[in-house]
Amino acid sequence: MVSELLIEADEEFQQGNFEHSSKLYVLALETFDASDCKELAAVLQKLADSDYAREEYELACQSYERLVVLHENEVFAPKEKASALLKCAKTMNKCGRLDEAEVKYQAAYDLANESLPAEHFLTRTVKDGYAEWLLEHNRNPELLQALHQELGIELPAKEEEIAERKPEEIVVPTAAAPHAGAEKEVFVLRTKLTRSNKKSDEEKVALELKAKKLTIEQEVTERKFCESQKRKTRAAH
């Protein structure tokens, strides 16, 4: 019964019928074995994502908060915990719970720094999201500056600094293209990078590609496509 509900709910979610999928996930939770932490967490996350997608942020926040508490169990990996904390922070921000959102952002940031590689897509996603939030709400400028340094963002010069420069010394920052999300979820975080002129063109291209944070599935798809094109080229010759 539960498995059938989840299959139907997943299909509704994939089709964008978020209100219906949310109802089905709720029904599944009502008959779910709460002793299975991993499965319970998966359903909670799906319910929260579904509610967030239909802009029911209060409901989504309740599920994300339950998920964060559930993740205190040792069976969960750091990336799962950091992801849940980040989503909870984003949703709390939507609900106007700014102080609580900041606590969750900080927890996600600390966990990512402690437990995930610096080049991991989620590490950068957490830093990116936290930096944007601090900038939006004008909080903790020292930490914001540190995050910008970690992200490799070159901040635009102040007006008085620009006035003192020669025209040829002024560099106008350019905005990077929005990067893809880590998975098919509602959290799509943008990276705004401006690279130093000291870096080579190859380094700039590599860094920009890295900033897009493609998922493993996307990378595999790209590799398969490239290989198929190579085979077609060889066959043509």
Domains belonging to the chain, first-starting first, are 1-74 (1.25.40.10), 77-153 (1.25.40), 195-237 (no CATH)
- Per the CB < 8 A criterion, the answer to whether 84 and 71 are in contact is yes
> What does pLDDT average to over the chain?
78
d(CA 123, CA 45): 20
The Cα–Cα gap between 105 and 88 comes to 8
Tokens 């964060």 locate to 68
Whether the per-residue pLDDT at 172 is higher than 70: the answer is no
What is the arithmetic mean of pLDDT over 103-131? 95
> pLDDT for 134-150, tens place per residue?
999 999 999 999 999 99
pLDDT of 177: 41
Task: Name the nearest CA neighbour of 170 among 184, 185, 159.
Answer: 159
Q: What pLDDT score was predicted for residue 19?
A: 96
The answer to whether 75 touches 38, Cβ cutoff 8 Å, is yes
Report whether 53 contacts 18 (CB < 8 A). Answer: yes
More confident residue, 45 or 200: 45
Q: Report pLDDT for 234.
A: 57
* The pLDDT of residue 140: 94
- The Cα angle at residue 34 between residues 70 and 32, in degrees rounded to 5: 125
Flag whether pLDDT at 75 surpasses 50. Answer: yes
Which has the closest alpha carbon to 20: 30, 34, 9, 6?
Answer: 9
Q: Which residue has the higher pLDDT, 135 or 31?
A: 135
**Burial class (CB within 10 angstroms; exposed 0-12, middle 13-18, buried 19+) of 1:** exposed
Chain segment 184-229, per-residue pLDDT in tens: 343 433 333 333 344 455 554 444 444 444 444 454 555 556 555 6
- Name the region of 176 (left: φ>0; alpha: ψ -120 to 50; beta: rest): beta
Q: What is the pLDDT of residue 3?
A: 85
* Greater model confidence, 151 or 154: 151
